[in-house]
Amino acid sequence: MVRLGRGQSPLGYAEAQAPRFVRELQEFVRMPSVSSDPAYKQDLGRCASWLASHLRRIGIDSVRLIETEGHPIVTARIDVSPSKPTLLIYGHYDVQPVKPESAWRFPPFSAQISGGHLFGRGAVDDKGQLFAHVKALESWFRTQGGPPCNVRIVFEGEEEIGSPHLRPFLEKYRQELKSDGAVVSDTQMRGPGQPALTIGLRGKLAFDVIVDGPAKDLHSGSFGGAVRNPAEVLSILVSGLHDREGRISVAGMYDDVRVYSLTERRRMAKSAPRAAELFQAAGVEEGWGEEGFTAYERISIRPSLSINGISGGHQGPGTKAIIPAHASAKLSFRLVPDQTPERVADLVTKHIARRCPPGVRCRIAIRESAPPVRIDRGSSIVKSASHALERTFGRTPVMLPSGGSIPVVEALDSLFSLPTALMGFALPTDALHGPNERFELKRFHQAIEASIRLLDHFSRTAGRLR
Amino acid sequence: MVRLGRGQSPLGYAEAQAPRFVRELQEFVRMPSVSSDPAYKQDLGRCASWLASHLRRIGIDSVRLIETEGHPIVTARIDVSPSKPTLLIYGHYDVQPVKPESAWRFPPFSAQISGGHLFGRGAVDDKGQLFAHVKALESWFRTQGGPPCNVRIVFEGEEEIGSPHLRPFLEKYRQELKSDGAVVSDTQMRGPGQPALTIGLRGKLAFDVIVDGPAKDLHSGSFGGAVRNPAEVLSILVSGLHDREGRISVAGMYDDVRVYSLTERRRMAKSAPRAAELFQAAGVEEGWGEEGFTAYERISIRPSLSINGISGGHQGPGTKAIIPAHASAKLSFRLVPDQTPERVADLVTKHIARRCPPGVRCRIAIRESAPPVRIDRGSSIVKSASHALERTFGRTPVMLPSGGSIPVVEALDSLFSLPTALMGFALPTDALHGPNERFELKRFHQAIEASIRLLDHFSRTAGRLR
């Protein structure tokens, strides 16, 4: 084992280089890599090239930029010894959209530092967390000539749009990517100073509901009262997706939802955030949701359905006296074991079709899907991540399911049976997906430390290539 | 009486100058005078100046451009003889918004001519109809040295936003504007070649419903299922504004609605458009609305409520996994005698407040209001308009109430007790307020002819200044 203490160790190097690491992360965050908007396509390409060059610069000579039909994947393999285990590190360099920009304290791609935080879209989701692993690898390269185990890198640019081209990539490069464990840092901690390992992710099914009415926008004086209004029909359709008990009112929705025993729920409740904590992080005074479940259960072990956007008719300032020709809403389910996106897509399509009134046409367009996953707590990689977090934060990480979705985890499991550790460094207050997303610089450095420690522990304890 | 036949008569002049009149109307339509959008404020000013200069050029030397807190009013007085009656001509040079521009065959301010129609926002509502009166006056000036009666001109730039500064103007210039009748050309014909005089207008109450939820957009994985979604609450609020019988479900909404006798309804049904005609003009296969009333009754003698726009959360391409912090809808009532906008505003405000669920905040912002009006069929100006239409189209105009709203009509009635003729030249197929608004060139010339004839008839038959 190499010395992990201060001095000419990886940890000492990381500490000494901290200010430069932050400047590099700023450069990374300044690239507007919004994967869902075609207007940013070139920026995604530039961001991927920057990342590939950066990996080469820190000493990795096998970096490849793999083009897909969408945005490129940056991949690399570092082979140190056939007797050592192999760790797959996954991250994503794409980010969520930023509108409305007016809600941001600093421009979303300015990577401004203020009050010990780096502000910017992607600061923590996921550029900051991805980059922590990159800087951990650099620290190993610069002090020890390389990491203590073999490493496979997969940095993709389509996580925020459901990773549509990741599975074909994993299938094609199955041989090269063969590993003994994977680490994904794209989840949250339990709270400040309280590390967590995520042991479950909800799946996702994103779709649009589109209502088409008159051939063109109509004068609402001349036709108001005699013609079906698509915006009103849309409202009726989407407002009817929950019942009065907060349950999703799509027939069959709960058929495949796994039921947890009271014992399991009690155990989870011990380490889960309280409702008040969640509401404070959300900035709401009061919660809402499915009756019979706690706030935390509602966002982790129960499915949910959110309207992510709704749009129709006049959008600008002022008034416009029309009956709009169209209206549409963007919605997404979060799914839990043992639901499948395919079955739920079928159920909701039928639900909408049955409720579409005469005088308009209603349809559904599926945009993204990912199945839910459960994590094996007993794997080497989870044990190494737990050790690394405990040493870094001085506290045993809690193990909790999370409400988010990361398509790669299910793919690694179903394709390679590869155990994954979800070792996240975001806080609920970091405004992921919202305006003023941020990452605390202290936590960025802790993430680097945890990654350095993870590599060390995994190299010493994990089994070799299966 | 001056000779109205062809030759050196006003009608002959109008016929000879027709191509130039069209070119001038194109110039007028090319000015993007969207009153509801602050971005066009300067364009409104330029359009008003252009109109004022144009009036001066055709021989009117008393033109004034009156600044308001909003957009300017162009006004003029032409005094030919104290023994002659005075006609007030009203029109508006502002137009509706144009988005989405992609739905237009030609750019909305290009004033392209195609298939005998001039395409463009404002082509018929109301620049084309306003300009017909201007060209009628020009025809009188150029052939007879001036119109056959005294004229007052009021061309405003805020009709499409509810004429918020018109009433103070009318009050201030009450003396100068004293007239014996008013003509407003901002309504529709019964059909191609079938003239109409509108004998009633619905009132209007436009308002926004705004729902505020979390302090910022939230990650829908981390919070979905445990936090009230403002876009869903908005959907619930606006979808609940009609009951299953198509009635507006705001308590007290129908208390003041005038009940028509079966005899009146039968008489109206004789000349009113059939449902199939309305649906064809709307481009819908099937109607909708209040049970127990015909399609035409629903848009004329019954109140209606339309969602004009709805907006919240992610609006761009692709997906965004958020619970939006806010959502809002733009709505407008059309009101009928004896409803008042004030009372209805009060009712709907209470309706929304009562239905706002915990976890979000709901509010209403009133944007525009205008009371409904009925027109006196027996006035001199209505008789002159009827005569002019009959001579121009070879058919007696039908007299029907309309679904639209024109704030000036109620103001002229309540302030000056001034009888008004609503002599419109639009067709239901002219796409008023929608994309591809257009005005048939033939109808533009017929409108000029009707205005020339109206001035003549009114000057010979109407009583003098009261």
Chain A residue with CA closest to B290: the answer is: A225
Residue B352, token pair as written in the block: 């929304």
Q: Report d(CA B123, CA A139) in Å as an integer.
A: 69
**Spatial contact of B270 and A281, defined as CB atoms under 8 Å apart:** no
**Interface contact flag, B222 A403, Cβ < 8 Å:** yes
**Spatial contact of B204 and B341, defined as CB atoms under 8 Å apart:** yes
**Averaged pLDDT, B136-151:** 97
Task: Provide the shortest C-alpha distance from residue B384 to chain A (in Å).
Answer: 25
Burial of B186 (0-12, 13-18, 19+ CB in 10 A): buried
**Interface contact flag, A317 B221, Cβ < 8 Å:** no
The pLDDT tens digits of the residues spanning B133-143 come to 999 999 999 99
**Interface contact flag, A320 B36, Cβ < 8 Å:** yes
Q: Report d(CA A218, CA A231) in Å as an integer.
A: 13
Amino acid in the structure at residue A301: I
**Spatial contact of A159 and A406, defined as CB atoms under 8 Å apart:** yes
Residue B157, token pair as written in the block: 């730039």
Q: Report d(CA A43, CA A37) in Å as an integer.
A: 11
Q: Cα–Cα–Cα angle for B166, B169, B174, nearest 5°?
A: 120
The pLDDT tens digits of the residues spanning B363-389 come to 999 999 999 999 999 999 999 999 999
> What pLDDT score does B152 carry?
98
Amino acid in the structure at residue A96: Q
**Interface contact flag, A161 B318, Cβ < 8 Å:** yes
Element (H, E) at A25: helix A18-29
Task: Provide the shortest C-alpha distance from residue A58 to chain B (in Å).
Answer: 33
Residue B223, token pair as written in the block: 């919070």
Amino acid in the structure at residue B198: T
Q: At B8, is the pLDDT very low, low, confident or very high (cuts 50, 70, 90)?
A: confident
| Residue B319 pLDDT exceeds 90 | no
Residue B198 phi/psi, 5-degree rounding, is -80, 130
Chain A residue with CA closest to B220: the answer is: A306
The dihedral built from the CA positions of residue B393, B397, B403 and B405, taken in this order, carries a sign that is positive
**Spatial contact of A13 and A137, defined as CB atoms under 8 Å apart:** no
**Spatial contact of A148 and A141, defined as CB atoms under 8 Å apart:** no
> What pLDDT score does A61 carry?
92
Among A127, A115, A130, CA closest to A185: A130
Buried b (16+ CB within 10 A) or exposed e, A363-392: ebeebbbbbbbbbeeebbbbbbbbbbbeeb
Instruction: Measure CB to CB from residue B226 to each of A202, A239, A278 and give the nearest one.
Output: A278
Q: Which residues neighbour B464 within 8 Å (Cβ) at sequence distance 6 or greater? A: B82, B83, B84, B85, B180
Q: Which residues neighbour A51 within 8 Å (Cβ) at sequence distance 6 or greater? A: A28, A74, A93, A155
**Interface contact flag, B284 A359, Cβ < 8 Å:** yes
Amino acid in the structure at residue B452: I
The pLDDT tens digits of the residues spanning B171-195 come to 999 999 999 999 999 999 999 999 9
The pLDDT tens digits of the residues spanning B16-48 come to 999 999 999 999 999 999 999 999 999 999 999
Residue A439, token pair as written in the block: 């990452």
Q: Which chain A residues contact residue B306 at CB under 8 A? A: 220, 224-225, 229, 232, 321-323
Mutate to test the interface with A, among B223, B285, B322, B360 (most CBs of A within 10 A): B223
Residue B349, token pair as written in the block: 């405000």
Q: How many CB pairs under 8 A join A and B?
A: 387
Among B119, B290, B410, B454, CA closest to A226: B290
Residue A139, token pair as written in the block: 């620290």
> What pLDDT score does B318 carry?
84
**Interface contact flag, A433 B220, Cβ < 8 Å:** yes
> What pLDDT score does B71 carry?
97
**Averaged pLDDT, B125-132:** 98
Q: Which residues of chain A, if any, have pLDDT below 50?
A: 1, 465-466
**Interface contact flag, A334 B221, Cβ < 8 Å:** yes
**Interface contact flag, B282 A367, Cβ < 8 Å:** no
**Interface contact flag, A219 B286, Cβ < 8 Å:** no
| Residue B269 pLDDT exceeds 70 | yes
SS3 A141: helix
**Interface contact flag, A308 B320, Cβ < 8 Å:** yes
Q: Hey, how many other C-beta atoms are within 10 angstroms of the C-beta on B5?
A: 9
For chain B, the straight-line distance linking the first and the last C-alpha, in angstroms and rounded, comes to 23
Q: Which chain B residues contact residue A227 at CB under 8 A? A: 279, 282, 284, 287-289
The pLDDT tens digits of the residues spanning A188-226 come to 999 999 999 999 999 999 999 999 999 999 999 999 999
**Spatial contact of B201 and B184, defined as CB atoms under 8 Å apart:** no
Residue A211, token pair as written in the block: 């209502």
**Averaged pLDDT, B258-271:** 94
User: What is the rounded average pLDDT for all residues in chain B?
Assistant: 95
The dihedral built from the CA positions of residue B99, B102, B105 and B110, taken in this order, carries a sign that is positive
> What pLDDT score does B465 carry?
43
SS3 A326: strand
**Interface contact flag, A226 B288, Cβ < 8 Å:** yes
The pLDDT tens digits of the residues spanning B216-260 come to 999 999 999 999 999 999 999 999 999 999 999 999 999 999 999
Chain A residue with CA closest to B293: the answer is: A226
Q: At B6, is the pLDDT very low, low, confident or very high (cuts 50, 70, 90)?
A: low
Q: Which chain B residues contact residue A234 at CB under 8 A? A: 235, 310
Q: Which chain A residues contact residue B225 at CB under 8 A? A: 289-290, 298-299, 302-306, 334, 403
Question: In the 3-class helix/strand/coil scheme, how is chain B assigned residue by residue?
Answer: CCCCCCCCCHHHHHHHCHHHHHHHHHHHHCCCCECCCHHHHHHHHHHHHHHHHHHHHCCCCCCEEECCCCCCEEEEEECCCCCCCEEEEEEECCECCCCCHHHCCCCCCCCCEECCEEECCCCCCCHHHHHHHHHHHHHHHHHHCCCCCEEEEEEECCHHHCCCCHHHHHHHCHHHHCCCEEEECCCECCECCECEEEEEECEEEEEEEEEECCCCCEEHHHHCCCCCCHHHHHHHHHHCCECCCCCECCCCCCCCCCCCCHHHHHHHHHHCCCHHHHHHHHCCCCCCCCCCCCHHHHCCCCCEEEEEEEEEECCCCCCCCEECCEEEEEEEEEECCCCCHHHHHHHHHHHHHHHCCCCCEEEEEEEEEECCEECCCCCHHHHHHHHHHHHHHCCCCEEEECCCCCHHHHHHHHHHCCCEEEECCECHHHCCCCCCCEEEHHHHHHHHHHHHHHHHHHHHHCCCCC
